[in-house]
Amino acid sequence: MKLSSSALLALAISSITASAYAENVSQDFVPTELNATSAQAETKGFIEGQSLSGTTRNWYANELKRRNDRFSYNHNGVETSTPRRINWVQGTILNYTSGFTEGTVGVSTEVAAYNAIALDRDRKDIAGKNNRTLTHSDGDAVGQWSKLGLANVKFRVSNTTLTAGRQNFSTPIVDVIGNRPLPSSFEGVSIHSEEFNNLSFDAGSFDRVSPRTEQSLSKFSSEYNSNGAETDRVSLVGANYQPLKSLKTSLYASKVEDFWNQYYFGATHELGDSSVLSLTTGLNYYKTVDTGKKKMGEIDNDTYSLSLGLTHQAHSLTFSYQEINGNEYFDYLHETNGIYLANSLLSDFNGPNEKSFQIAYGLNMAEYGVPGLKFNIYQARGWGIDGTHYNGTAYSGVKADGTVYGVRTMDGEHHYEYGIGASYAVQSGPLKATAIRATYTTHRASENQADGNINEFRLVTTIPFNIL
């Protein structure tokens, strides 16, 4: 990985800050040892350990395209443009999880029913098919729909669990994405092991994804491809290691069949005392190269982000730099959150050869006697987007009239985004852990930058509940 001058400057600032403040967060080495306790040995039993719980989420988004950008919808058989799109959906999850049976090998099961109700069913408001509200082929909303979001069996020995079936899974390559009324989930087999005190392992192989706004399972595709390519299997393996009390690291490798091999390294280091001043440094790095039948074309991409976060009591200030080294997008799997980059916001700031910088400020009102209330504001800018040297077909092409579209049109493109948000989590009482979050985001772009010009307001209320 080749670091730019901006990244090297950020590292230098990190070093200076580290030497300026006392090491209140322990920097002690953590020796690797077998865990003294076994989760399976402490199981309560299949029935005794069961639970029935869930969440219900009211999700509202109002988008307004600016300049000459527009959405479109089917009006009496004619595609009609509109500047505004509104989605309002109630998503509910009911989750049953059994305990593990007793014995050397414990067995458990998990089943979750997902339900969505479209609260706004106006075709003009939805302005498109199956984007955030499930629709029929003509663009009319499906008023109410349900599916099995989770359905799996788990086998546990000591602190190692094998899960088979439809499941949640969280790694930097394949991760549940939960930013809509309902989250995604994945069909396959996975293993999670925590036999050591500071070292854990993950492995998984999946052939289908359950999308956020669909009833059926789908093959995996990429987030940014325009050629409709799908893959039959995604496999990965990785480890999380904490060598110091203040340092956490992750290393993962994956194979997306006939798409790419992708590798990830991440590290987070904490230093200082937040009551005076603390520094959190984060590094994320992805290496992506094509493989197999190369359905996504030739890929050779190095992408990284570096963030420096300063915290003083209620206040935090974070600086993040991100760089894409490659003539294609930094891409990841659709319906996953497999993009652990600091500047992945409304826009992912992941165009070919793009560089971006973000400044973010956060305020935690717990320090002023209002626990659960937080505010944040940020601005991010991306520049230097250049896809003119791209020679593949996944992200660019030529129309019948000879017009070039996609990343090949990007030559010196730039864009910026800013957002402001407020959230509150109820701290006690019957509504404890209920979360309310409001955000307003603006994005503006040059002519050929893909994310366009848009303002978006979101209001999301999530209420957890326990039945058993």
pLDDT in tens, 386-423: 999 999 889 998 888 888 999 999 999 999 999 999 99
32 is a domain residue: no
448 within 8 A of 352, measured Cβ to Cβ: no
**Rounded mean pLDDT of 372-379?**
98
Distance CA 314, CA 242 (A): 27
| Number of domains comprising the chain | 1
pLDDT tens, 448-465?
A: 999 999 999 999 999 999
CB atoms within 10 A of CB 103: 11
Residue 48 lies inside a defined structural domain of this protein: no
196 domain residue, yes or no: yes
Is residue 43, in this structure, part of any structural domain at all? no
The domain that holds 193 is classified in CATH as 2.40.160.10
Q: Are 249 and 282 in contact (CB under 8 A)?
A: no
CB atoms within 10 A of CB 393: 18
Give a yes or no: residue 42 inside a domain: no
Show the domain range for 358.
Answer: 55-466
Give the C-alpha separation, 269 to 1, whole Å. 20
Per-residue pLDDT, 17: 41
Q: Is the pTM for the entire model greater than 0.85?
A: yes
pLDDT tens digit string along 28-46?
999 999 999 999 999 999 9
Assess if residue 13 is contained within a domain: no
Query: Which of 3-7, 254-258, 436-440 shows the lowest per-residue confidence on average (mean pLDDT)?
Result: 3-7
- Please report whether residue 27 resides in a domain: no
Kindly state the average pLDDT of the residues 9-28. Answer: 54
% residues pLDDT > 90 (the chain): 91
Q: What's the pLDDT band for 23 if we cut at 50, 70, 90?
A: low
Q: Is residue 25 part of a domain?
A: no
Model confidence at 5, in pLDDT bands (50, 70, 90)? very low
166-184 pLDDT, tens digit per residue, is: 999 999 999 999 999 999 9
